[in-house]
Chain A
């Protein structure tokens, strides 16, 4: 097939220069065409055969070439949103409303960082150092000395960590809490693949002790086997409960030859012991609480950390920044270490990948941790646990309402089943009062039944249970009406009072 000579098309009339395009003024465009020696730009597209081309023009909304018009349009459209600044929000779950220090916003907006791409280690030295400081400070928080640059989200960090442990152990099951956040669970599924695939990993839920909200150790014993690559649990859990038996869980995992992966809220680590102290091999979590706005979910980021041990380091799918010497004696800079790790060895049947991530947020996370320091994290942790427990006492005192677990950090499960109301009804009423109530929680997954996720047909696994989980899939009415409420330093006592008053009124 050879391209035909281009047919004349309606020529764009570059009537005036566009502010984003330096060569768009007609005379300047012509100057370049003259230098090339073509009469019309169309000649430059000679490689594209005629039958590949779009016939007719594009129908797009009219151009808003003035910044004033454009901003007005965007501002007015976005103004149709409600937000957590004008309303009182208690939503959490995977994105949390925390205070973002002003300097975080300043640095997040520095054009050098915003527009940087991939220069040399010397020309992007400042940014690379900021990345190294992200990893270094996060390492202090989680008490580990090997930290990768962040991935897209906590769920993605979990997915990569599970695949790391599967490659390391040569095993193909991961045990997760039956109440694992459904967004993270859905992401984990796509990393673990349907069972037809060569490197599929089965996700097996472990029951949660309804009293403590921690993992049910008897059920854990039932699920652990020589197939278990890793046990994953969170501290605090997806339902906000503090896990008191981490050491027992990791000891059981180790006895079964499995790795222990722990998910944490980094803001808890000024108060709660770092996961390696109770046996974690791999620590994952969200970076969003570290100075990033919620951004309608666009603030998520995830981290992976381990001991600086070759066994783990060589499984990282992320980019790592390492300190390294320069040609000047005594000087250091930064370089990428262990690029494309996951293609080592035979067991790594499925390579993971690296690509764009959320590296701008890593810079901001570094700023946040520098501002906080050890005292800031301790103080914030202590504030959050007091605020959540105060809220639990107040809300739990409302007739018919119960709080699920005794030890909470910043999130708690509010159960309104006994009031006869649904979470949806409660939230609709709260919304009328300018309050975003906690999101409804689905029932726990059935313990021990492999979670096969979506897009798996019956013929694949005839014994498979029908998927019952949200967020995707048809909604199934949960047995209990539970909602997850989040309390942070942006709330004051009066905000909790207002919530309690509203709930009392709504549930009366």
Chain B
């Protein structure tokens, strides 16, 4: 092994499941003492027969034991503590100052139904951030209620329903068009909202042909939901024409700006003609992932769709911020209240820390880093690039295939993932379903990671590929440097063996 590779070892606390810990009688926390005037016979306050008779079988731990247990669990979580180039998720530094700011009681202890006069600070930030997104996208209004990118896509599907219903065309407009490389949340949410999905496969240039779009568009078309550039780093240069064709047929056009990082300051949904777009504040705008939320899918649209937006929106009148509940055309809510407000504050803070020049710099650096990676990755045995015939530079990520490695050694990309984490780097993202190229990996370097980090990551991949050829058993049985060995997930879809709770596990273990 090359001496420059990280000699990583995960913490291994051999931590039992919390329900196995503790002893009866221990306490972790007390409720306040009931004052004498407040005290009453609890049974007398309850209607008959509603009181719990068997206490919940929760663990009984001291305060310190709880603290130690969960700190141990955190230490057995790699979670971007090393190098994480997880493509399509735009892993970047989540500024710690933002965590400190949103933990202040002026945000943490705020109720969304407070009188707006007591919400002026947070409304000002939400309003200012909306202004920033208006500038970055050219859209007219934004809403932050959706709890993630998929929820923003669902929001669009609901708005599509409302828009066509308002024109009396909903019964006829039953189809949403998307592409095979658009994130699966677009077809899934369109279907959840009741639409049929029409998917366009890739054409010879790495994006779907204009002819296939024309074949798909009809008077049944409700909307186009599409991402650009795609997760292979390919930009569809015909997108303006796409939008024109769909508009001509009476459909709406939604831009999933999941891959915005590399095109920030160069591309806006407005210039391309889109009616609506979505940004993920927990990736492009440096909100933390939290392992999967709380997150925000910021949804923006052109004026003709504003009446249909979920409410409330934030308005400014005569120097006072207020909440606009809209009218009966609004789709209402996709989630309670106004969204994950702390994430909006973090995103606002990130843009303020960068300014327009910093945004441009971040976009440039993410594309530079990706193209730098390509110069080294293609030198590794068995690594090839998606669409090798396309010679133009890719944007902020590129998809590679390890098909040759798999064919030669039987080591697949899951094995590669499991082995790479042994070096303290997070596993790379593979690809969304369906896989269009075999044995895919999709790294994305972004603007955060140093050249040294990127080089180390590539060195680790090269080492794991070398092992695949020379010592495949080590790769196949990886990881070896983590708290636990490779998980055998074969039984988790089997009702006899899955267990999503400890009590189900105990029962099934006993009957096994």
In whole Å, how far is B59's beta carbon from the nearest beta carbon of chain A?
Answer: 6
Q: With CB as the reference atom, state the residue of chain B lying closest to A81.
A: B121
Q: With CB as the reference atom, state the residue of chain A lying closest to B206.
A: A47
User: Which residue in B61, B71, B73, B295 is a CB contact (below 8 Å) of A129?
Assistant: B73
B108 contact set on A, CB distance < 8 A: 83, 293-295
B438 contact set on A, CB distance < 8 A: none
In whole Å, how far is A36's beta carbon from the nearest beta carbon of chain B?
Answer: 5
A28 contact set on B, CB distance < 8 A: 451
- Complex Cα distance, B117 from A379, in Å, reads 36
Instruction: Tell me if A217 counts as interface (CB < 8 A to partner B).
Output: no
User: Which residue in A131, A137, A373 is a CB contact (below 8 Å) of B60?
Assistant: A373
- Please tell me if the beta carbons of B308 and A74 are within 8 angstroms of each other in the complex: no
- Please tell me if the beta carbons of A377 and B56 are within 8 angstroms of each other in the complex: yes
In whole Å, how far is B467's beta carbon from the nearest beta carbon of chain A?
Answer: 17
- Please tell me if the beta carbons of B492 and A337 are within 8 angstroms of each other in the complex: yes
A346 contact set on B, CB distance < 8 A: none
In whole Å, how far is A423's beta carbon from the nearest beta carbon of chain B?
Answer: 12
User: Which residue in B112, B192, B294, B369 is a CB contact (below 8 Å) of A95?
Assistant: B112
Chain B residues with a Cβ closer than 8 Å to the other chain, count: 223
- Please tell me if the beta carbons of A327 and B488 are within 8 angstroms of each other in the complex: yes
Q: With CB as the reference atom, state the residue of chain B lying closest to A124.
A: B77
- Please tell me if the beta carbons of A389 and B105 are within 8 angstroms of each other in the complex: no
- Please tell me if the beta carbons of B368 and A29 are within 8 angstroms of each other in the complex: yes
- Please tell me if the beta carbons of A354 and B61 are within 8 angstroms of each other in the complex: no
Q: With CB as the reference atom, state the residue of chain A lying closest to B124.
A: A77
- Please tell me if the beta carbons of A73 and B51 are within 8 angstroms of each other in the complex: no
Q: With CB as the reference atom, state the residue of chain A lying closest to B290.
A: A360
Instruction: Tell me if A477 counts as interface (CB < 8 A to partner B).
Output: no
Q: With CB as the reference atom, state the residue of chain B lying closest to A374.
A: B55
- Please tell me if the beta carbons of A473 and B106 are within 8 angstroms of each other in the complex: no
Given A103-B66, A322-B492, A29 and B135 touching (CB < 8 A)? no
Interface of chain A residues 436 through 458 with chain B (CB within 8 A): 436, 439, 453-457
B500 contact set on A, CB distance < 8 A: 132, 135, 139, 145-148, 308, 320-322, 337
- Please tell me if the beta carbons of B339 and A119 are within 8 angstroms of each other in the complex: no
Of the candidate stretches B245-253, B330-338, B378-386, B403-411, the one touching chain A is B330-338
Interface of chain A residues 360 through 376 with chain B (CB within 8 A): 360-361, 363, 366-367, 369-376
User: Which residue in A12, A129, A350, A367 is a CB contact (below 8 Å) of B361?
Assistant: A12
- Complex Cα distance, B95 from A138, in Å, reads 32
In whole Å, how far is A63's beta carbon from the nearest beta carbon of chain B?
Answer: 3
Report B420-432 CB contacts with A as 1/0, cut-off 8 Å. Answer: 0100001101000
- Please tell me if the beta carbons of B60 and A120 are within 8 angstroms of each other in the complex: no
User: Which residue in A67, A198, A374 is a CB contact (below 8 Å) of B56?
Assistant: A374
Instruction: Tell me if A87 counts as interface (CB < 8 A to partner B).
Output: yes
- Please tell me if the beta carbons of A21 and B365 are within 8 angstroms of each other in the complex: yes
- Please tell me if the beta carbons of B79 and A119 are within 8 angstroms of each other in the complex: yes
Given A21-B447, A324-B488, A372-B29, A187 and B75 touching (CB < 8 A)? no
- Complex Cα distance, B328 from A189, in Å, reads 13
B343 contact set on A, CB distance < 8 A: 298
Instruction: Tell me if B52 counts as interface (CB < 8 A to partner A).
Output: yes
- Please tell me if the beta carbons of B295 and A356 are within 8 angstroms of each other in the complex: yes
Most-contacted residue by chain A among B17, B120, B192, B339 (CB, 10 A) = B192
B453 contact set on A, CB distance < 8 A: 22
In whole Å, how far is A363's beta carbon from the nearest beta carbon of chain B?
Answer: 7
- Please tell me if the beta carbons of A454 and B365 are within 8 angstroms of each other in the complex: no
- Please tell me if the beta carbons of A117 and B89 are within 8 angstroms of each other in the complex: yes
In whole Å, how far is B366's beta carbon from the nearest beta carbon of chain A?
Answer: 9
User: Which residue in A20, A81, A84, A436 is a CB contact (below 8 Å) of B93?
Assistant: A20
In whole Å, how far is A67's beta carbon from the nearest beta carbon of chain B?
Answer: 5
In whole Å, how far is B94's beta carbon from the nearest beta carbon of chain A?
Answer: 6
A439 contact set on B, CB distance < 8 A: 113
- Complex Cα distance, B76 from A124, in Å, reads 7
Given A196-B171, A431-B115, A137 and B282 touching (CB < 8 A)? no
Q: With CB as the reference atom, state the residue of chain B lying closest to A371.
A: B28
Interface of chain B residues 299 through 319 with chain A (CB within 8 A): 308, 310-312
Q: With CB as the reference atom, state the residue of chain A lying closest to B476.
A: A327
Instruction: Tell me if A221 counts as interface (CB < 8 A to partner B).
Output: no
User: Which residue in A58, A91, A300 is a CB contact (below 8 Å) of B335?
Assistant: A300
- Please tell me if the beta carbons of A376 and B31 are within 8 angstroms of each other in the complex: yes
In whole Å, how far is A369's beta carbon from the nearest beta carbon of chain B?
Answer: 6
Of the candidate stretches A151-159, A225-233, A395-403, A412-420, the one touching chain B is A151-159
User: Which residue in B132, B337, B450 is a CB contact (below 8 Å) of A300?
Assistant: B337
Instruction: Tell me if A504 counts as interface (CB < 8 A to partner B).
Output: no
- Complex Cα distance, B286 from A21, in Å, reads 12
In whole Å, how far is A188's beta carbon from the nearest beta carbon of chain B?
Answer: 9
Given A47-B234, A390-B37, A60 and B359 touching (CB < 8 A)? yes
- Please tell me if the beta carbons of B79 and A1 are within 8 angstroms of each other in the complex: no
Instruction: Tell me if A274 counts as interface (CB < 8 A to partner B).
Output: yes
B326 contact set on A, CB distance < 8 A: 472-473
User: Which residue in A41, A78, A319 is a CB contact (below 8 Å) of B364?
Assistant: A41
Instruction: Tell me if B84 counts as interface (CB < 8 A to partner A).
Output: yes
Instruction: Tell me if B489 counts as interface (CB < 8 A to partner A).
Output: yes
Given A41-B367, A196-B171, A125 and B482 touching (CB < 8 A)? yes
- Complex Cα distance, B86 from A48, in Å, reads 24
Interface of chain B residues 225 through 239 with chain A (CB within 8 A): 229, 234-235, 237-239
User: Which residue in A1, A431, A470 is a CB contact (below 8 Å) of B325?
Assistant: A470
Instruction: Tell me if B215 counts as interface (CB < 8 A to partner A).
Output: no
With A3-B237, A83-B106, A295-B107 already in contact, 14 other A-B pairs whose C-beta atoms are closer than 8 Å: A2-B237, A20-B93, A24-B365, A47-B229, A130-B73, A140-B58, A273-B51, A294-B108, A296-B341, A326-B487, A336-B489, A359-B292, A360-B292, A373-B26
| 24 examples of A-B residue contacts, CB within 8 angstroms | A1-B238, A3-B237, A54-B268, A63-B352, A71-B97, A74-B349, A79-B121, A94-B336, A95-B111, A101-B29, A123-B421, A129-B17, A140-B501, A148-B500, A197-B195, A273-B50, A295-B107, A297-B338, A298-B342, A357-B147, A359-B293, A374-B58, A375-B60, A492-B35
**A-B pairs with lowest CB-CB distance, top 7:** A63-B355, A355-B150, A197-B194, A297-B337, A116-B79, A82-B118, A126-B76
